[in-house]
Amino acid sequence: MILNLRRGIDGMPGRPELSAMKTGRPGHRGLSIAAVVLAFAFNFANASAADFCALPASPRIIASEGLSSAKGSRLIQAWEFPDAPIYWSAADPADSVFQAFKAGVTQHVPITDPVRLLRSSPAWNNPRLQQNNALVADRADDWIRPAGCLEKLLLANQHGRVDLFERPTEFAALVLRSPEGDRLRVYYLTINEDGIGRMSPLTEPAAVDVKAGWRLEIALHNHSFHPGQPSLDGVLAPSEADAQFAVNLAADAGLRAAWITNGLHTSRIPAQAFGLFVSPAAPIAK
């Protein structure tokens, strides 16, 4: 969170240690230093989280069960905050958790190219998954981008719960936009497993918001890196269940895009393409 320092800054010019600084021209250097400090502090005090890649407030906890790092521990939480360009940029979060994640990538992940990961994945020798991988790889120029600030923030939240290189886990999130278009609401779910399971803890409150005029912009989840397990290793294509979830949510709530991130890159699949993927209800292309 960004601290408001204005109250502490107002009295600074009268502090003796600043006004008493003297060199050469009496008081000149002291006043200059004081002015610099004041200018810096004033800018900092008037900055907001929207000026940095940071969530501007603590989340509202909807449900929390078990220790934060324990397998099977469930967390459902939500943030609401003003939209800002920083969230759609590729800026890194200004915290130590995401930096630790990046250091872990350097240490543990030999291949990070998203198209190479897609094309080298055997996908459990499942032709249905292989088709989904190929579809994303073929459209990488349109769909795959460096991970953005918002994805990185949510992935850092998960990495802060469970080290993703010691025990890969997943989170899922829904991102909604307010009726006025100027605020975001993000619902976040994890059970500290390498999968999510039942999604109704996210979809049910989101459905209420959609009826109230909010727009369901993004369904986001992560596919963690699994070095040495190429079928799972940061692959940015939807599973059959992922694809079916996106189709259903588009039909029921107007979902506009499905995003999959590994923390370095994100596939951003528009709703118009959901029907191209193989899902339990969709046949494989021949």
**In 3-141, where do the E strands start and end?**
60-65, 74-82
**In the chain, % of residues over pLDDT 70:** 80
Identify the pLDDT of residue 57.
79
Identify the pLDDT of residue 283.
65
Residue entry with tokens 């469970």: 162
Least confident stretch, 12-16, 105-109, 156-160 = 12-16
252 versus 2: the higher-pLDDT residue is 252
Q: At 206, list the tokens.
A: 């989101």
Residue 159 has pLDDT above 70, yes or no: yes
Task: Provide the pLDDT confidence category of residue 285 given band limits of 50, 70 and 90.
Answer: low
Task: Provide the pLDDT confidence category of residue 17 given band limits of 50, 70 and 90.
Answer: very low
Average of per-residue pLDDT across 66-73 = 94
CB–CB of 242/274 below 8 Å?
Answer: no
Identify the sign of the CA torsion 96, 193, 201, 85: positive
Residue 93 has pLDDT above 70, yes or no: yes
Q: What SS3 state is found at 133?
A: helix
Identify the pLDDT of residue 5.
32
Residue 42 has pLDDT above 70, yes or no: no
Identify the pLDDT of residue 205.
97
Dist CA 147 CA 92 (whole Å):
9
Identify the pLDDT of residue 201.
96
Q: At 65, list the tokens.
A: 């069960």
Identify the pLDDT of residue 94.
86
Q: What SS3 state is found at 175?
A: strand
Residue 11 has pLDDT above 90, yes or no: no
Task: Provide the pLDDT confidence category of residue 55 given band limits of 50, 70 and 90.
Answer: very high
46 versus 228: the higher-pLDDT residue is 228
Average pLDDT, the chain: 86
Identify the pLDDT of residue 21.
35
243-272 pLDDT, tens digit per residue, is 999 999 999 999 999 999 999 999 999 999
Residue 29 has pLDDT above 70, yes or no: no
Q: At 149, list the tokens.
A: 């600030």
Q: What SS3 state is found at 37?
A: helix
Average of per-residue pLDDT across 76-87 = 97
Task: Provide the pLDDT confidence category of residue 18 given band limits of 50, 70 and 90.
Answer: very low
Residue 276 vs residues 50, 114, 245, 269: alpha-carbon distances, Å: 36, 20, 14, 11
The domain limits of the chain are 6-47, 53-276
Identify the pLDDT of residue 280.
87
